[in-house]
A and B are shown apart, each in its own frame.
Chain A
Amino acid sequence: MGNEDSVLLSRILTELTLSFHIIYATIGVGIPLMIMIAQWVGIKKQDEHYILLARRWTRGFVISVAVGVVTGTAIGLQLSLLWPHFMELAGNVIALPLFMETFAFFFEAIFLGIYIYTWDRFENQKKHLLLLIPVAIGASFSAVFITIVNAFMNAPQGFDIVGGQLVNVSPIVAMFNPAMPTKVAHVLVTAYMTSAFVLASIGASRLLKGSDHLYHKKALFLTLKLGFVFSVASALIGDFSGKYLAEYQPEKLAAAEWHFETEEGAPLILFGVLDNGKVKYAIKVPYALSILARDLPKAEVIGLDQFPKDEVPPLYIHYLFDAMVTIGMVLTGLSLIYLLGTWLRWQFIFSKWFRWLLILGGPLSVLAIETGWWLDEVGRQPWILRGIMRTKEAATSSGQVDLMLLLFAGLYLILGIGSVVVLLRMFRKNTVEQELADRASLKAGEQV
């Protein structure tokens, strides 16, 4: 097996691991915040339902944490195993946030263990809330730090190269690179948004399946309210990300938008297909790309003609961009309709078909996360460190990547099926009605 094969297979294996990991990782970042909010609402309203909501979410969350932790360990090691040259170089500049990420992760792990195993230890629910704060902070901060590493790969800075050697390294400058603010913010809010829609789908599916319990209605309303807020925030920060790309990484924006020629007053291309270099069936919105990129309808947007052929990312990322944005818009609209419908008492939001749409919201938001990451990562090709190291220079020389790809594909299949089976069993066996009755009888027993 030649080096070419190793590069391709290493890319596929990394993509497979990350695509699998981010499903659990995204939920792992967002759900602790939702749990904390539910616990807080429960304390404020003195409503047992919300406290129970926090606990039931936590039980499912533990399963996703387990898979997130083990696949995170996998990608952590694979970085060095599959991309030894990259880590050798980047380790000099970007080790700090990687190191800090493990601290955040450690912090979360400790307090999650404490929270789960002290569920009924303290009389005062506020103490349980206090335990949840470090869990949520740890989860979000590990996302912050690891996203900083990724931002660095898109916009490397904080060092000078003299004769092939890295000198004058400044870890802090490397961390606060230009890609970092938009990237970290977008990753965080979309993680919260995705978690909210995933939890909303669970509530909607219980209601659809015939349970008419108040608990599920409260859960659905709370999660969609949060989902709406975070999807609006995601769109806003997404817009900032577009402006960042126009300024610092124009080739990614141009490839994602099929913007071939540098021009003023550039139109935005929505959907469409690329056929022999010609865009067909697309919707063109005049001036929209200039507005997106620079806030002015007449502004100049750099096109792909400004870049050498071997530095242009694959053009299929346009489809990924469309998918991500469309899903974001649809989910914002869906949650808004639900909220308005609840306040204005529109009947159709209780109908079966609308609940089906809400159920679809969860998987769709996960799909948007995947397409967003693919867009971001493939849009950086052919670079692993933009402008500094090409992907093919970074890969391992090992001839066994093909076997490892099969090994890990098998692992993810087992973990994927296993986690779904376990989660379904967990909640089918122990319904809310059952659990509320159990808790009531436990309390009555204590008072006798």
Chain B
Amino acid sequence: MTLEILGITVLGMFLFGYIIVASIDFGAGFFNAFSTVTGKQHILTKVIQRYLSPVWEVTNVFLVFFFVGIVGFFPKTAFYYGSTLLVPASIAIVLLAIRGSYYAFSTYGGLKHKRYTILYGLTGLFIPASLSIVLTISEGGFVRMEEARPVLDYWSLFTSPLSWSIVVLSLTAVLYISAVFLTWYAHKAKDGEATNLLRKYALIWAGPAIITAAGIIVEMRTHNPEHYKGLISLWWLFALSVIFFAGSVYFIWKRQAYGLAFWLMVGQFTSAFLAYGMSHYPYLMYPYLTIYDSFTNESMAIALVIAFVAGLGLLLPSLYLLLKLFLFNKEYVQGKRDDHA
């Protein structure tokens, strides 16, 4: 394995980690807001708050880790993506900032109002949409070079069916991932009512999530034939993904093994993510930037890998402690403990 592949694997892991934890977070905010509008808040709010409170900060770190890491391993991405993404990334930052601080203000500072809850839920949908633009741009066709500087073509971006398909995919995936996780979590909390409601949401969003994902592959055929060819050659990974998906939906439908259903869902997205990433190889931004011409010097790469391993040595036990104390602590999950003042 070359250092380039190692670097992109490390970053891919963090990006995937962010996609899963952020989806749970964004979806939870949306379902919470939706339940407020439909008068079902009493069912969901407690379960959602109990999950979100101890981990809200950690979610953000995954994102920071990814964008710091990518500039570290692939400094040229700062030039290509930094120059083109000013507007979409700034909008995402502002939404993330409002969302993160509102969460703290309301949870710890008692700033509670229905209006804010709804706004909070909506930002959870706009952020994935604005972040997914990065994926669209990486496919090529939206950036042109002017005087050796990359410029984003907003018109073709906004009129492209591909970019809208990716936005829709990000939304359905967020809602599906979140609903599956929260069903499991509510079940663990022995909250039958919340489990039923979230199970319903999971089943509702399962269809759209898989259909939009398949739609992207079709879009790719005309937009980026080279990438399409790569995707098709990895058909077995997609087949695996569909099998995981079917298994996950089956267990949710049968109201059993919600934990297994969640992990199957993670497997579904892992294999699809892997297939997408591997077929995109070696491009970071098609056709200008590959992982080879943008890679940092060898000594920095080695230093980063060492720092990464040492950091994981510190992080994994801490994350384990966090999970053990909250997510996997029966009394906490069931709301029998309320240790905070």
A→B interface (CB under 8 Å): 55, 59, 62-63, 65-67, 69-74, 76-85, 87-93, 95-96, 98-103, 105-107, 109-114, 116-121, 134, 166-167, 169-172, 396-398, 400-401, 403-404, 407-408, 411, 414-415, 418-419, 421-423, 425-426, 429, 435
Q: Which of B57-91 contact A (CB under 8 A)?
A: 57-58, 60-61, 63-65, 67-69, 71-73, 75-79, 81-83, 85-87, 89-91
> At the interface, yes or no: B318 with Cβ under 8 Å from chain A?
yes
Instruction: Give 17 new A-B contacts, CB below 8 A, not counting A119-B339, A120-B339.
Output: A73-B63, A80-B77, A82-B82, A82-B86, A84-B82, A89-B75, A91-B75, A96-B307, A99-B311, A113-B53, A113-B322, A117-B340, A121-B337, A169-B299, A404-B90, A408-B94, A422-B110
- A96-B300, A419-B105 known; A109+B71 contact, CB < 8 A: no
Q: Which of B166-203 contact A (CB under 8 A)?
A: none
Closest to A121 in B: B339
Beta-carbon contact of B85 and A105 below 8 Å: no
List the 7 shortest-distance A-B pairs measured between CB atoms, nearest first.
A95-B72, A91-B75, A66-B104, A422-B109, A87-B78, A84-B82, A80-B82
Which residues of the other chain, B, contact A401 by a CB distance below 8 angstroms?
86
For the complex, is B55 an interface residue (Cβ under 8 Å from A)? yes
Asked if A88 meets B76 with Cβ closer than 8 Å, knowing A99-B308, A116-B340, the reply is yes
Q: With A and B bound together, what is the CA distance between A72 and B93 in angstroms? A: 10
Chain A: minimal CB distance from B60 (Å): 6
Partner of B96, one of A70, A112, A170, A429: A70
Inter-chain CA distance A227–B308, complex, in Å, is 36
B105–A81 contact, CB under 8 A?
A: no
Residue in B closest to A171 when the chains form the complex, CB atoms: B303
With A99-B69, A411-B97 known to touch, is A114 a contact of B321 (CB < 8 Å)?
A: yes
* Bound form: Cα–Cα A81–B85 in Å: 7
**Which chain A positions have C-beta within 8 A of B56?**
113
Residue of B nearest to A103 (CB): B311
A418 contacts B101, C-beta separation under 8 Å: yes
| Interface hits, B285-341 → A, CB 8 Å | 296-297, 299-300, 303-304, 307-308, 311, 314-315, 318-319, 321-322, 325-326, 332, 337, 339-341
Is the CB–CB distance between B108 and A62 below 8 Å?
yes
* A84 contact set on B, CB distance < 8 A: 78-79, 82-83
Provide the residues of chain B in CB contact with A419, threshold 8 Å. 101, 105
Indicate if the CB atoms of A425 and B109 lie closer than 8 Å. yes
**B109 to chain A: closest residue by CB:** A422
Interface centre among B60, B76, B151, by most chain A C-beta atoms within 10 angstroms, is B60
| A69 to B76 Cα, complex, angstroms | 26
CB <8 Å contact, A95 and B71: yes
Chain B positions 226 through 248: 1 when the CB is less than 8 Å from some CB of chain A, otherwise 0:
00000000000000000000000
CA distance A89 to B89 in the complex (A): 21
Q: How far is the CA of A411 from the CA of B97 in the complex (A)?
A: 8
Cα A421 to Cα B56 in complex, Å, equals 21
**A106→B313 CA distance, assembly (Å):** 13
Asked if B98 lies at the interface with its beta carbon under 8 angstroms from chain A, I say yes
- Whether the pair A74, B322 counts as a contact (CB closer than 8 A) is no
Pair A87/B75 contact, Cβ less than 8 Å: yes
B94-128 contacts to A (CB < 8 Å): 94, 96-98, 100-105, 108-111
Residues of B near A400 (CB, < 8 A) are 86-87
Q: Shortest Cβ distance from B94 into chain A, in angstroms?
A: 5
Nearest Cβ distance between residue B285 and chain A, in whole angstroms?
13
**C-alpha gap A100/B101 in the complex (Å):** 24
When C-beta atoms are compared, the residue in chain A nearest to B56 turns out to be A113
A-B contact pairs, 16 of them (CB 8 A): A63-B105, A69-B100, A88-B76, A91-B71, A95-B73, A99-B68, A99-B72, A99-B311, A100-B311, A102-B61, A110-B319, A117-B325, A166-B297, A170-B299, A396-B83, A423-B109
Cβ-Cβ contact count across A and B, 8 Å cutoff:
234
B86 touches A404 (CB 8 A): yes
For A95, give its contact among B64, B75, B90, B315 (CB under 8 Å): B75
Q: Which of B61, B78, B94, B304 contacts A99 (CB 8 A)?
A: B304
Which residues does chain B contribute within 8 Å of A76, judged by CB atoms? 64, 67-68
Nearest chain A residue, comparing its CB with the CB of B83: A84
Q: Which of B61, B86, B98, B297 contacts A169 (CB 8 A)?
A: B297
- Report the contact-size class of chain B (Cβ under 8 Å from the partner): 35 or more
Question: Contacting A87 at CB < 8 Å: which of B71, B73, B98, B315?
Answer: B71
With a cutoff of 8 Å between Cβ atoms, the chain A residues found around residue B94 in the complex are 407-408, 411
User: Smallest CB-CB separation from B326: which chain A residue?
Assistant: A117
Q: How many Å lie between the Cα of A62 and that of B86 in the bound state?
A: 29
- Say how far A176's CB is from chain B's closest CB, in angstroms: 13
Contact A73 B65 (CB under 8 A): no
On whether A106 and B65 interact (CB within 8 A), knowing A66-B105, A84-B83, A398-B86, the answer reads yes
B194 to A: closest C-beta gap in Å? 20
Interface secondary structure of A, over-half rule: helix
Distance between Cα atoms of A169 and B86 in the complex (Å): 29
Contacts of B340 in A (CB 8 A): 116-120
Mark contacts of B149-172 with chain A using CB atoms, 8 A cut-off: 1 yes-contact digit, 0 otherwise: 101000000000000000000000
Q: How far is the CB of A354 from the nearest CB of chain B, in Å?
A: 31
Do B300 and A92 have beta carbons less than 8 Å apart? Answer: yes
**Contact indicator A398/B83 (Cβ below 8 Å):** yes
Q: Is B54 an interface residue (CB 8 A)?
A: yes
**Chain B residue at minimum C-beta to C-beta distance from A108:** B57
Distance to closest chain A CB from B248 (angstroms): 29
B105 vs chain A, min Cβ distance (A): 5
CB of B307 within 8 A of CB of A99, answer yes
When distances are taken between beta carbons in the complex, the residues of chain A under 8 Å from B111 are 418, 421-422, 425
> Which A residues lie within 8 Å of B318 (CB)?
107, 110-111, 134
Complex CA–CA separation, A107 to B304 (angstroms): 18
Q: Which residues of B contact A134 (CB under 8 A)?
A: 318
Report Cα–Cα, A118/B341, bound state, in Å.
9
B54: min CB distance to chain A, Å: 4
Which listed residue (A65, A423, A425) contacts B57, Cβ 8 A?
A65
CA distance A146 to B300 in the complex (A): 17
- Find B100's partner among A70, A103, A112 (CB 8 Å cutoff): A70
Flag if B325 contacts A118 (CB, 8 Å): yes
Cβ contact within 8 Å between A85 and B79:
yes
A414 engages B299 (CB within 8 Å): no
Bound CA span A96–B110, Å = 39
Are A73 and B300 interface neighbours, CB within 8 A? no
B283 CB → nearest A CB, Å: 18
Measured between beta carbons, the chain B residues less than 8 angstroms from A171 are: 299-300, 303
- Point out the residue from B65, B79, B98, B300 that lies within 8 Å of A88, measured CB to CB: B79
Docked Cα-Cα span, A170 to B300, in Å, equals 7
Q: Considering only CB atoms, which chain A residue lies closest to B102 in the complex?
A: A418
- Contact (Cβ within 8 A) A92 B339: no
| A residues near B322, Cβ cutoff 8 Å | 110, 113-114
Q: Give the residues in chain A near B296, CB-CB below 8 Å.
A: 91-92, 95
Q: Is A73 within 8 A of B307, CB to CB? A: no
> How far is it, in angstroms, between the C-alpha of A425 and the C-alpha of B105 when the chains are bound?
10
A95 touches B67 (CB 8 A): no
A119's partner among B71, B326, B341 (CB-CB below 8 A) is B341
Residue from the list B73, B97, B303 in contact with A172, Cβ < 8 A: B303
